């Protein structure tokens, strides 16, 4: 997987490159947008990491220009600005996700993989979380390599949750995933399906947790290791 | 400042103007007195005339009693002349020449010659050195009957005329001047009031300026150039304050921005270290710095915020988004967040700002609720939003403190910069809302954001 990184701070660029290379990505670093632009003409990239605050131009304009060329490569914006205006500006211009500085490597790598797994992305085949794998082409779920049976609606639910693993997915979004627009949704259908899916995954021994965000939606997270307990994290 | 010294109360402009006007009146009075006295001294005939008239008027008042009584009943008062040090005689005729009454001083006697019936007024002076003899006749009407009073006054020098001059001054100088002064004062009062009106309006406008809204200017259009100058000066001062406040605010925001890249480098560098206790501490420190930078930016946004008059925010949607955003963090730390919409209303407000405030409020609750418990976020009914934790709660005497910047109840706590609740409080101030800190039933802190209705 070849990744373009446009970042003007050399130390940050090296750290990001080393970190992602350790995760199996191949990185090309550029300290200016113009050089990055020239390189894009000759090299097809699977993913673009763009810092919005580059010395030779605005990252948002750059992203617009990339999208005008018809490139569909996923773009992850790295920004020091966290105002909503920046987010909307970045996403409207054609970026797929944004990451606000500072961040740790695990977060960046997870975001990159999530983008590459999107439809059209080069990782668009298997979603993984813990010992749980979801083959989006064969519509097959495996726990620890063993295939388990999951009914179609729960499959749709699981796919949406796995694509946004670690984040809360709203009820509305999950209901849209489970049902076509025309079909009728009973108020408890989602709760019932989530409950069945939770039992099914637990019975199969999947080390993931389907967390209910009361009043908001659901979130799929890897089961915490015993050392990850919250109380210990907060100890001074 | 010592307590014993009485405070200096500045005098009002009205008081000063009145005092000065009174002084001017006094000077005027003295000048006028001098002028009047000088005028009479230079014109003795006028004084003769006045003295005879005054004496005749005094006598005329007693004519009715004289008519009713027999003989020559002259009252005790009339025995003595008006002017001390003079001798005086008088004779009263009625129509047809009959004598009504006469009074002779021992050495002064008036010949009984009935005056001509058409005579109305006559004064005559005879002088020998400083001595004088005045004779005069006045026609008076008493009870529709005409009488002719003839008076003779003999005296010496200027002294006999003093009472007359005094009378003149009293009626023709002091009385009019007092009336004039009163009118002046009233006029002064109304003029000062109306003149100062634009000043008062301007002061009221300055008073209404909200210190938190540094971009406000006085928009009154005073009719006076002097007040206009004051308004211009105050507006210029406000502009300078705004510039410095903005510079300070921008500095905090810029500094926070600039910190993000080095902080990212630091976090990634720490991430490359081999696992150890030291590394865990560094990670925690870096996380705390990240949170501080976030909060500095939130604070900078909260103080820089201008609320558009038609801005609308959906409390339910905002809270849902905040809960979704913070749930992963909560779950990672072994806590949960529960959200309930109890019929939240749309409020007049800035959605992003309310979101940032609520995020800080929930983060604060997550820091205080024990592992295994839930932070409960409720919106509504109406324009309110509540966040409840299951922690120790906040003692009533500390509730005011925690809303200030860099205040933490537990100084040893490693999480949080102490800005979170100050961001909440600043944001709510902008919305004219209220932050209430209460004890939740069953323990824990209950923080309520109340937005104004309508």
Question: Would you say residue B17 lies in a domain?
Answer: no
Model confidence at B127, pLDDT cuts 50, 70, 90, reads confident
For residues B326 and B218, membership in a common domain is answered with no
Question: Would you say residue A90 lies in a domain?
Answer: yes
* Predicted confidence (pLDDT) at residue A179 exceeds the cutoff of 80: no
Number of domains within chain B: 3
Residue of A78, A79, A101 to mutate, testing the B interface (most B Cβ within 10 Å of its Cβ) = A101
Chain B residues within 8 A of A11 when measuring between CB atoms: 265
**Contact call for B268 and A214, based on CB within 8 A:** no
Question: Would you say residue B327 lies in a domain?
Answer: yes
Residue of A nearest to B263 (CA): A102
pLDDT of residue A82: 63
Domain residue limits at B327: 308-450
pLDDT of residue B354: 93
For residues B313 and B435, membership in a common domain is answered with yes
Residue of B264, B283, B368 to mutate, testing the A interface (most A Cβ within 10 Å of its Cβ) = B264
Chain A residues within 8 A of B260 when measuring between CB atoms: 80, 100-102
Question: Would you say residue B38 lies in a domain?
Answer: no
Model confidence at B374, pLDDT cuts 50, 70, 90, reads very high
Q: What ipTM was reported for this prediction?
A: 0.75
φ/ψ bin of B112: left (φ > 0), alpha (ψ from -120 to 50), beta (otherwise)? beta
Question: Would you say residue A234 lies in a domain?
Answer: no
- % chain A with pLDDT above 70: 84
Instruction: Tell me the nearest-neighbour CA distance from A69 into chain B, angstroms.
Output: 30
* Predicted confidence (pLDDT) at residue B407 exceeds the cutoff of 70: no
pLDDT of residue A230: 40
pTM for the structure as a whole: 0.61
Number of domains within chain A: 2
Question: Would you say residue B35 lies in a domain?
Answer: no
Looking up residue B248, the CATH number of its domain turns out to be: 1.10.287.130
pLDDT of residue A32: 92
* Predicted confidence (pLDDT) at residue B301 exceeds the cutoff of 50: yes
Residue of B nearest to A230 (CA): B333
Using an 8 Å Cβ cutoff, are B246 and B214 in contact? Answer: yes
Residue entry with tokens 């915490």: A224
**Contact call for B264 and A214, based on CB within 8 A:** no
For residues B290 and B314, membership in a common domain is answered with no
pLDDT digits (tens, 9 = 90+) for A69-93: 888 889 998 888 765 455 555 667 7
pLDDT of residue A110: 86
More confident residue, B397 or A229: B397
Question: Would you say residue A231 lies in a domain?
Answer: no
* Range with lowest mean pLDDT among A71-85, A204-218, B253-267: A71-85
Last residue of a domain, one of A71, A86, A117: A117
Chain B residues within 8 A of A15 when measuring between CB atoms: 265, 268-269, 272
Chain A residues within 8 A of B374 when measuring between CB atoms: 214
Last residue of a domain, one of A117, A136, A159: A117
* Range with lowest mean pLDDT among B7-21, B24-38, B100-114, B306-320: B7-21
For residues B321 and B337, membership in a common domain is answered with yes
Using an 8 Å Cβ cutoff, are A27 and A5 in contact? Answer: yes
Give CA–CA dist B341/B353, Å, rounded.
Answer: 20
Question: Would you say residue B18 lies in a domain?
Answer: no
Prior bond to B313 cis, omega within 30? no
* Range with lowest mean pLDDT among A211-215, B106-110, B155-159, B258-262: B106-110
pLDDT of residue A166: 86
* Range with lowest mean pLDDT among A197-206, B16-25, B434-443: B16-25
pLDDT of residue A228: 44
**Contact call for B371 and A229, based on CB within 8 A:** yes
Last residue of a domain, one of B304, B338, B373: B304
pLDDT digits (tens, 9 = 90+) for B180-234: 878 887 887 788 788 778 888 888 888 887 766 677 788 767 677 888 888 888 8
Last residue of a domain, one of A117, A135, A164: A117
| Cα atoms found within 13 Å of the Cα of residue A13, Cβ hemisphere only | 17
For residues B316 and B298, membership in a common domain is answered with no
* Predicted confidence (pLDDT) at residue B155 exceeds the cutoff of 70: yes
For residues A111 and A189, membership in a common domain is answered with no
More confident residue, B69 or B157: B157
**Between B261, B267, B374, which is nearest A104 by CB?**
B267
Last residue of a domain, one of B115, B140, B157: B157
Last residue of a domain, one of B287, B304, B321: B304
**Contact call for B325 and A168, based on CB within 8 A:** yes
Interchain contact B443–A (C-beta under 8 A): no
**Contact call for A214 and B340, based on CB within 8 A:** yes
For residues B325 and B226, membership in a common domain is answered with no
pLDDT digits (tens, 9 = 90+) for B165-181: 888 888 888 888 888 87
DSSP letter for each residue of B379-446: E-SBSEEEEE--S----GGGTTGGGSTT--SSTT--S--S-HHHHHHHHHHHTT-EEEEEEPTTSSEE
DSSP annotation of A105: H
Question: Would you say residue A198 lies in a domain?
Answer: yes
* Predicted confidence (pLDDT) at residue B288 exceeds the cutoff of 80: yes
Residue of A168, A222, A227 to mutate, testing the B interface (most B Cβ within 10 Å of its Cβ) = A168
For residues B229 and B330, membership in a common domain is answered with no
Average pLDDT, chain A: 83
For residues B70 and B108, membership in a common domain is answered with yes
Looking up residue A138, the CATH number of its domain turns out to be: 1.10.10.10
pLDDT digits (tens, 9 = 90+) for A5-53: 999 899 999 999 999 999 889 999 999 999 999 998 888 898 999 988 8
Count other C-beta atoms under 10 Å from residue A100's C-beta. 18
Model confidence at B86, pLDDT cuts 50, 70, 90, reads confident
Which has the closest alpha carbon to B379: B334, B432, B322, B307? Answer: B322
What does DSSP say about strands B445-450 and B434-439: parallel, antiparallel, or unpaired?
antiparallel
> What number is the average pLDDT over the span B380-401?
88
Question: Would you say residue A7 lies in a domain?
Answer: yes
Total count of residues recorded for chain A: 236
> What number is the average pLDDT over the span B349-359?
91
For residues A181 and A77, membership in a common domain is answered with no
Residue of A nearest to B296 (CA): A82
Prior bond to A102 cis, omega within 30? yes
* Predicted confidence (pLDDT) at residue B17 exceeds the cutoff of 80: no
Looking up residue B342, the CATH number of its domain turns out to be: 3.30.565.10
Domain residue limits at A67: 2-117
Question: Would you say residue A23 lies in a domain?
Answer: yes
> What number is the average pLDDT over the span B158-162?
84
pLDDT of residue A4: 94
For residues A197 and A166, membership in a common domain is answered with yes
For residues B147 and B124, membership in a common domain is answered with yes
For residues A194 and A111, membership in a common domain is answered with no
Question: Would you say residue B367 lies in a domain?
Answer: yes
Average pLDDT, chain B: 84
The two tokens of residue A166 are: 């670690």
Strand, helix or coil for residue B220: coil
Question: Would you say residue B227 lies in a domain?
Answer: yes
Looking up residue A93, the CATH number of its domain turns out to be: 3.40.50.2300
For residues A193 and A212, membership in a common domain is answered with yes
């Amino acid at each position: 997987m070849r990744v373009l990184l446009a970042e003007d701070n050399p130390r940050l660029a090296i750290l990001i490159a080393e970190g992602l290379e350790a995760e199996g990505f191949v990185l090309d670093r550029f300290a200016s947008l113009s050089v990055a632009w020239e390189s894009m003409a000759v090299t097809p990239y699977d993913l673009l990491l763009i810092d919005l605050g580059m010395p030779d131009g605005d990252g948002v304009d750059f992203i617009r220009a990339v999208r005008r060329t018809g490139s569909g490569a996923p773009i992850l914006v790295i920004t020091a600005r966290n105002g909503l205006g920046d987010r909307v500006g970045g996403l409207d211009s054609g970026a797929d996700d944004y990451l606000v500085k500072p961040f740790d490597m695990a977060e960046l790598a997870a975001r990159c993989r999530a983008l590459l797994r999107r439809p059209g992305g080069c990782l668009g085949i298997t979603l993984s979380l813990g010992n749980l794998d979801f083959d989006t082409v064969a519509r097959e779920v495996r726990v620890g390599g063993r295939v388990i049976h999951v009914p179609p609606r729960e499959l749709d639910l699981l796919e949406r949750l796995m694509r946004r693993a670690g984040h809360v997915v709203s009820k509305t979004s999950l209901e849209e995933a489970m049902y076509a627009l025309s079909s009728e949704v009973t108020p408890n259908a989602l709760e019932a399906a989530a409950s069945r899916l939770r039992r099914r995954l637990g019975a199969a021994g999947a080390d993931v947790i389907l967390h209910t965000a009361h009043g908001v939606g659901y979130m799929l997270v890897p089961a915490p290791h015993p050392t990850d307990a919250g109380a210990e994290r907060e100890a001074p | 400042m010592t307590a014993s010294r009485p405070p200096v109360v500045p005098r009002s402009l009205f008081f000063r103007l009145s005092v000065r006007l009174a002084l001017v009146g006094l000077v005027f009075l003295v000048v006028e007195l001098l002028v009047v006295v000088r005028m009479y001294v230079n014109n003795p005939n006028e004084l003769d005339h006045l003295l005879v008239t005054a004496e005749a008027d005094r006598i005329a008042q007693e004519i009715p009693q004289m008519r009713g009584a027999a003989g020559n009943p002259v009252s005790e008062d009339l025995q003595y002349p008006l002017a001390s040090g003079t001798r005086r005689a008088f004779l009263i005729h009625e129509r047809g020449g009959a004598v009504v009454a006469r009074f002779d001083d021992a050495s002064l006697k008036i010949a009984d010659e009935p005056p001509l019936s058409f005579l109305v007024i006559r004064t005559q002076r005879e002088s020998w050195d400083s001595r004088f003899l005045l004779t005069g006749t006045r026609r008076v009407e008493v009870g529709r009957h005409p009488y002719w009073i003839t008076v003779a006054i003999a005296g010496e020098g200027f002294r006999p005329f003093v009472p007359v001059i005094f009378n003149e001054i009293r009626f023709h100088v002091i009385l009019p001047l007092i009336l004039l002064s009163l009118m002046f004062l009233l006029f002064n009062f109304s003029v000062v009031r109306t003149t100062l009106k634009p000043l008062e309006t301007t002061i009221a406008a300055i008073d209404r300026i909200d210190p938190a809204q540094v971009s406000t200017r006085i928009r009154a259009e005073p009719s006076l150039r002097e007040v206009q100058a004051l308004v211009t000066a105050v507006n210029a001062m406000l502009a300078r304050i705004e510039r410095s406040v903005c510079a300070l605010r921008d500095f905090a925001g810029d500094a926070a921005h600039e910190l993000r890249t080095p902080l990212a480098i630091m976090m990634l560098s720490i991430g490359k270290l081999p696992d150890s206790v030291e590394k865990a501490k560094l990670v925690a420190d870096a996380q705390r710095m990240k949170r501080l930078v976030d909060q500095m930016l939130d604070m900078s946004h909260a103080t820089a915020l201008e609320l558009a008059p038609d801005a609308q925010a959906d409390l339910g949607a905002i809270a849902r988004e905040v809960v979704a955003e913070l749930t992963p963090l909560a779950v990672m730390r072994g806590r949960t967040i529960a959200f309930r919409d109890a019929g939240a209303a749309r409020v007049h407000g800035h959605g992003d700002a309310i979101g940032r405030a609520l995020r800080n409020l929930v983060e604060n609750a997550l820091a205080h609720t024990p592992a295994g418990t839930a932070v409960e976020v409720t919106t509504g009914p109406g324009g309110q939003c509540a966040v409840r934790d299951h922690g120790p709660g906040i003692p009533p005497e500390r509730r005011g403190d925690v809303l200030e910047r860099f205040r933490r109840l537990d100084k040893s706590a490693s999480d949080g910069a102490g800005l979170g609740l100050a961001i909440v409080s600043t944001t709510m101030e902008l919305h004219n809302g209220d932050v209430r800190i209460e004890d939740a039933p069953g323990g824990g802190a209950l923080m309520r954001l109340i937005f104004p209705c309508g």
